[in-house]
A and B are shown apart, each in its own frame.
Chain A
Amino acid sequence: MTSIPQMPKSWRLETKPHKFCPGCGHGLVLKALGEAIDELGIQDKVIFGCDIGCSLLAWDFFNVDTVQTHHGRTTPVVTGVKRANPDTICIAYMGDGGGYAIGSQHLVNAAARNERITAILVNNCNYAMTGGQMAPTTLPGMKTETSPYGRDIKEAGYPTQGPEMVAAITRDGSYVARGTIANLKQLKGYFKKALENQMAGNGFSFVEALASCPTNWRTNAKDTWNFVEKEMPKYFKVGEIKNPAEKEGE
């Protein structure tokens, strides 16, 4: 073990250290993604689309072609790229607000059309970039700026179960999983499978990543990890939900 953290080859060194807050989950998710890109050797083919949300900070994060889009609109932008140039490997990187609220119609329909793209959604239980409002994924009872007394499920409903929804509306060929920054090796594995699924031309692939936002959660390191490791998985079950590759092996 070396004490110097290894940066993935696909990371853009000039823009490191990155701009996320200390302890932010985005950086870890992008580390796992960078390693997945490295291990698959696809850096020159990747189109990385980032949403508006804290993911916008990733616009110059990788040494890959990158387009920053609008809040919720990354899925259609990379869909447009992929449809126009199927040789590319397209990644749509977004937050839970971007994917499950303002851009939910794009996620649902890209999944239903089985677009050959990979959507990666960072679930941090809030709208982080705008200062910690309630998101579709805010946990019941969880306090945010717009649910100061805690999310009331009678008013606001239950947290969106994104991968489960995507799994329910996709048919053969889609890959769906939920990983977490608490298990980066597993998360990287999901990313690799999701990208391989796109490369094989099977169909839509979707990975939600449970991630931390200590700034808006107002948590210290210990509480942050406790929330990621203990609280979030109570509602968001970590694991693979759909894997076409496995089906073939049966």
Chain B
Amino acid sequence: MADKPIQGEKRVFMTGNEVVAWAALAAQADIMYGYPITPQNEIMHYWTRMAPKFGKRFLQTEDELSAGFTTLGGVLAGRRAFTATAGPGNTLMQEPMSMAEMMRIPSVVVIQQRGGPSTATVIYSQQEVTMTAYGGNGEGFRIVYSTGTHQELFDYTIKAFNTAWKYRFPTFVLGDGYQAKMRESLTIYDPQDKGMEMVKTEAFIGKEPVNGIKEPNHIRNTYNTEEELFDVLAKYMEDYLKIAPEIVEYQEFDCDDADLVVVSHGVVSRAAKGAVQELRSEGYKVGYFRPITLRPFPAEQLRAVADKTKTLLLVESAYGQMAKLVKDAIFGSTVAIENLFKPGVGITSEEVVDKVKGLL
């Protein structure tokens, strides 16, 4: 069996799907379960080529319901298990993930967003924000990282395993078809060599007896009374509220004196960043804000920005899914809101620049 997948660190040039497979290996993921769907297929392709060399496993399931539920089985057995999907597969993935929410199963799912509704395009969108962040029935708690670069895909895929296992909430890495398929430079590394410890996993079921005594575990998702359920959910709510400030991540710059702040997430934030830098160099007072965690959302931080500026320009490759999160976060603010929505279509920095110039 080969040693560590990555020794030290290495500069590479690869597609985002390949990055995810490497990141899962580097994170010492034990098993991937998956069902083919574009644009995430190559995660499985790279995983199935590399994983066996390191004693890791793969199961190709019959659909995403099964990919999700087998992943939960793998996690319950105490393994770092994950799956990846997109679009209509993400729809099916919501049923198992609602079980993960109810039972606090630390599963990791990578979503590479594609166009919707329905089969739509296999290419790109940011239209799976609402579903990835809030797709379960009931009101479960989960964590969603929206990445924008290949370096982030690598970093946050590793981080997702640690977040999931540390806090015991299902965790998602939200990418998209552009990130999945495009090639870009990044540094891959072994987390341990960087002083990052992987959070230890633990079997919920199938644990070895201790001193010859087996204490069976009984885990359920069904409750008998409203009060019984409420007690469980109240505890989850409390836990989530407590840890949210530790989990929340965002980026901002040039917001202090800005007349307008561009808000975007994921790959679109690259265009937004370029646009804000260009506009600043031309003397426009423009700022940049980007939530990295869509759930929990950096509400306080955005609220502080909204209190300082006159206009928020919300830019996304969707018809207002991030916008809903933003408006919820800044409820009560009197800041003006403008939109640049292009559902299922990429956004360039020129478009953002033009839009801002039209507004200022």
Could you say which of A66, A84, A105 contacts B77, with CB atoms under 8 Å apart? A84
Q: Nearest-CB distance from A65 to chain B (Å)?
A: 4
Q: How far is the CA of A87 from the CA of B209 in the complex (A)?
A: 13
- Nearest-CB residue, chain B, relative to A10: B216
Interface centre among B99, B205, B209, B217 (most CB of A within 10 A): B205
Interface centre among B66, B81, B219 (most CB of A within 10 A): B66
Task: In the complex, identify which listed stretch (B56-64, B233-241, B245-253, B346-354) lies at the interface while the others stay far away.
Answer: B56-64
Q: How far is the CA of A73 from the CA of B59 in the complex (A)?
A: 16
Q: How far is the CA of A77 from the CA of B221 in the complex (A)?
A: 13
B222 at the interface (CB under 8 A from A): yes
Q: B73, A87: Cβ atoms under 8 Å?
A: no
Interface centre among B61, B77, B217 (most CB of A within 10 A): B77
Q: A69, B62: Cβ atoms under 8 Å?
A: no
Residues 177-232 of B contacting A (Cβ, < 8 Å): 203-207, 209, 214, 216-222
Contacts of B95 in A (CB 8 A): 70, 73
Q: A65, B206: Cβ atoms under 8 Å?
A: yes
Provide the B313-337 mask, 1 if CB < 8 A to any CB of A, else 0: 0000000000000000000000000
Contacts of A64 in B (CB 8 A): 216
A43 at the interface (CB under 8 A from B): yes
A-B residue pairs, 5 tightest by C-beta: A80-B73, A80-B70, A109-B62, A76-B69, A65-B205
Contacts of A225 in B (CB 8 A): none
Task: In the complex, identify which listed stretch (A52-60, A136-144, A215-223, A234-242) lies at the interface while the others stay far away.
Answer: A52-60
Q: Nearest-CB distance from B100 to chain A (Å)?
A: 11
Q: Nearest-CB distance from A89 to chain B (Å)?
A: 9
Q: B73, A66: Cβ atoms under 8 Å?
A: no
Number of A-B pairs, beta carbon distance below 8 Å = 123
A172 at the interface (CB under 8 A from B): no
Q: Nearest-CB distance from A114 to chain B (Å)?
A: 13
Q: A76, B74: Cβ atoms under 8 Å?
A: no
A133 at the interface (CB under 8 A from B): no
Q: How far is the CA of A77 from the CA of B75 in the complex (A)?
A: 10
Q: B69, A84: Cβ atoms under 8 Å?
A: no
Residues 79-99 of A contacting B (Cβ, < 8 Å): 79-85, 87-88
Q: A43, B78: Cβ atoms under 8 Å?
A: no
A residues within 8 Å of B by Cβ?
A: 12, 43-44, 47, 52, 56, 59-60, 62-70, 73, 76-85, 87-88, 105-106, 108-109
Q: A73, B74: Cβ atoms under 8 Å?
A: no
- Nearest-CB residue, chain A, relative to B98: A70
Could you say which of B209, B216, B222 contacts A66, with CB atoms under 8 Å apart? B216
Q: Nearest-CB distance from B213 to chain A (Å)?
A: 9
B79 at the interface (CB under 8 A from A): yes
Contacts of A59 in B (CB 8 A): 218-220, 222
Contacts of B31 in A (CB 8 A): 83-84
Could you say which of A67, A70, A79, A105 contacts B70, with CB atoms under 8 Å apart? A79
B124 at the interface (CB under 8 A from A): no
Q: B74, A109: Cβ atoms under 8 Å?
A: no
- Nearest-CB residue, chain A, relative to B67: A76
B71 at the interface (CB under 8 A from A): yes
B84 at the interface (CB under 8 A from A): no
Contacts of B76 in A (CB 8 A): 67, 77, 80-81
Q: How far is the CA of A73 from the CA of B73 in the complex (A)?
A: 11
Could you say which of A56, A60, A66, A106 contacts B66, with CB atoms under 8 Å apart? A106
Q: How far is the CA of A87 from the CA of B30 in the complex (A)?
A: 15
Q: A56, B209: Cβ atoms under 8 Å?
A: no
Residues 72-90 of B contacting A (Cβ, < 8 Å): 72-79, 81
Q: How far is the CA of A105 from the CA of B74 in the complex (A)?
A: 20
Could you name 17 residue pairs across A and B whose Cβ atoms are closer than 8 Å?
A52-B222, A66-B216, A67-B205, A70-B69, A73-B66, A76-B61, A77-B69, A80-B70, A80-B72, A80-B73, A80-B75, A80-B77, A83-B74, A84-B30, A84-B57, A85-B79, A109-B62
Contacts of B297 in A (CB 8 A): none
Q: Nearest-CB distance from B56 to chain A (Å)?
A: 11
Contacts of B222 in A (CB 8 A): 52, 56, 59, 68
Q: B216, A77: Cβ atoms under 8 Å?
A: no
Q: Nearest-CB distance from B323 to chain A (Å)?
A: 32
Q: Nearest-CB distance from B79 to chain A (Å)?
A: 4
